[in-house]
Structure 1
Amino acid sequence: MEAELAPAIDPLVPTAPLIGSLRALHEPHRQLQISFSTEGLGGALRRLRAGDVSLALCLLLPDAPEDVMATPLIRINLLPVAAGNPLGTLGRPASRVDLEAHVQLVLSDPASRDGPNYGLTGSAPWRFVDLGRRMDFLLAGFGWCRMPEHLVQEHLDAGRLVRLKLDDDTRGNADPLTIYAAHLADRVPGPTGRWLLSDLAARLAD
């Protein structure tokens, strides 16, 4: 059994099931050390390839690379949302011209600024590395963005955010994003790492 488990975790991974799995792992293995690495876009894969971690829970865009073994864990819906923004009161789906007049808050990879811009619609985005910081600006009424449904549902229910309607030209790729459990093809996780993956997959499937 590993003396330490050091997963790299994408901020889009739902927290509640992860906590549940780690609590269940901790009960019989109280001496097991856990070292979290919460990464921005692309960071978990870089840590994995650098050998800093043996396990990553992350996005792999556009596809899983050949040197990585990846198992799909969960699909996450991204909702276009805003707070205190005229886009939410148009009374019709927002067009590209409508969106151009407002700041888009974009989550980006700090190590690859010129890389692909997934979901980018506006011409003058504000780029964030930290998902929590982007949420702060969103709730403060700065612009709009696409956010994971599980992170914004409470704010939608409370009226702090509104879901935007986008026309066909601005909707883009509305398919859910896939969160993977990934490890290097030549470095399989130990028994506790494998148990964590199995338990987490079961919780996310419920």
Structure 2
Amino acid sequence: MHDSITLDQLRTFIAVADEGSFSAAARKLHRVQSAVSHAMANLEGQLGVVLWDRSTRIPALTEQGRVLLGAARRVCADADALSSAAQRLAGGLDPLVSLCVDAVFPLSALVDLCVEFARVYPTVELVVHTETMAAVADRVLDGTCQLGVVGPAAAAQGLERRHLTSVRMVPVAGKTHPLAAAQQHAGRVATEQLREHVQIVLSERGGARSPEQAVLSPRTWRVVDLQTKRELLCAGLGWGNLPEHMIRDDLRAGRLVRVRPEAWGEDEHLLSLAVVHRPGLVLGPAGQWVLKRLVELCCEHVGGPDVGGPEEPR
């Protein structure tokens, strides 16, 4: 019966293959050679396959033995992983950390977080979702994710909230857009002029549930991700707000031009991001590490929290 095969038999099989002989495997395992030979004979009987060619002075693996050796290594590796995971859980290490971030969260910070997490906690599963506006809080409320990073427009009733950082939103248009040329000759752009052009707006999937904000034009194109919005703006198809950290290179290279709407004033506009989680959430070491690094990486990629200034939506 295959169910009666033991890990000890498989480890003995691997030891014989690695050491090159029954006698060498016996020395490595601190057993007598007869015990190793007996274990191999029992394993062959249970598998119904000849693993070793005993016609020579030193037994050699058969073709079937070479195939099953790989399977034996995988079984033992899985067993070792199971044992290690159980030890980590017994010691309080999280089996999994799940995170959902708003699309405004800097992608470079998210990538760095994932790279570092894989290095520091290689055995803990990390699950990452990206959503927009209220959908982030939904993923936390329904238990899909333990942690979320939300913007101010997202309703987060019933969740604990902690300020993370502030992202500066910049109204821009592509270099070929009429507003880009107009901006070069005017300090501020009147709302009447903005209303003549398409405004590209970040929207929620499945229809807007968060209050509509910062929409000055009756002509809108709606997208559900910032990269699509950026590409459309660079192509000169409209104007709209984008996170400053996302478009620094575009502004320097002249692919995008800053627009200064008369309606919004001249002061800096910030979008507050916060970490949210369900009340009473208990995080293990890996989850606590993620929470700490979120703050640190945002300071590196965006700027420190509490930068100051009024918030402007998307």
CA deviations 1:51-89 (Å, max 9, x no partner) are 111111221326x63411111111000001001111122
In structure 2, the CA distance between the partners of 1:68 and 1:142, relative to structure 1 (3 Å rule), is same
Return the alpha-carbon distance in structure 2 between the equivalents of residues 48 and 172 of structure 1: 36
> Structure 2 stretches of 5 or more lacking a match?
1-92, 301-314
Return the alpha-carbon distance in structure 2 between the equivalents of residues 39 and 58 of structure 1: 9
Runs of 4+ with >6 A deviation:
none
Return the alpha-carbon distance in structure 1 between the equivalents of residues 132 and 259 of structure 2: 25
| Number of residues of Structure 1 aligned to a counterpart in Structure 2 | 204
Q: Equivalent residue for 1:159?
A: 254
In structure 2, the CA distance between the partners of 1:132 and 1:110, relative to structure 1 (3 Å rule), is same
Task: Identify which of structures 1 and 2 has the higher relative contact order when contacts are C-alpha pairs closer than 8 Å and 6+ apart.
Answer: 1
Between Structure 1 and Structure 2, whose CA radius of gyration is higher?
2
Are residue 150 (structure 1) and residue 238 (structure 2) matched? no
Task: Give 2:272's aligned amino acid.
Answer: T
Q: Sequence identity, in percent?
A: 25
Are residue 78 (structure 1) and residue 173 (structure 2) matched? no
- Normalized per residue, which structure has more helix? 2
CA contact (8 A) 1:105 1:127 kept: yes
Are residue 116 (structure 1) and residue 207 (structure 2) matched? no
CA deviations 1:131-166 (Å, max 9, x no partner) are 211112111111100110011111111111101122
What is the TM-score with the length of structure 1 in the denominator? 0.90
Are residue 52 (structure 1) and residue 147 (structure 2) matched? no
Are residue 194 (structure 1) and residue 285 (structure 2) matched? no
- Displacement of 1:126 in angstroms is 1.0
CA contact (8 A) 1:82 1:138 kept: yes
- Displacement of 1:115 in angstroms is 4.0
Q: Equivalent residue for 1:138?
A: 233
Return the alpha-carbon distance in structure 2 between the equivalents of residues 199 and 151 of structure 1: 20
For the residue of structure 1 that corresponds to 2:120, the secondary structure is: coil
In structure 2, the CA distance between the partners of 1:122 and 1:72, relative to structure 1 (3 Å rule), is same
> Structure 1 stretches of 5 or more lacking a match?
none
What is the TM-score with the length of structure 2 in the denominator? 0.60
In structure 2, the CA distance between the partners of 1:104 and 1:171, relative to structure 1 (3 Å rule), is farther
Q: Alignment partner for residue 183 of structure 1, among 262, 273, 277?
A: 277
In structure 2, the CA distance between the partners of 1:175 and 1:188, relative to structure 1 (3 Å rule), is farther
Q: Alignment partner for residue 42 of structure 1, among 103, 109, 134?
A: 134
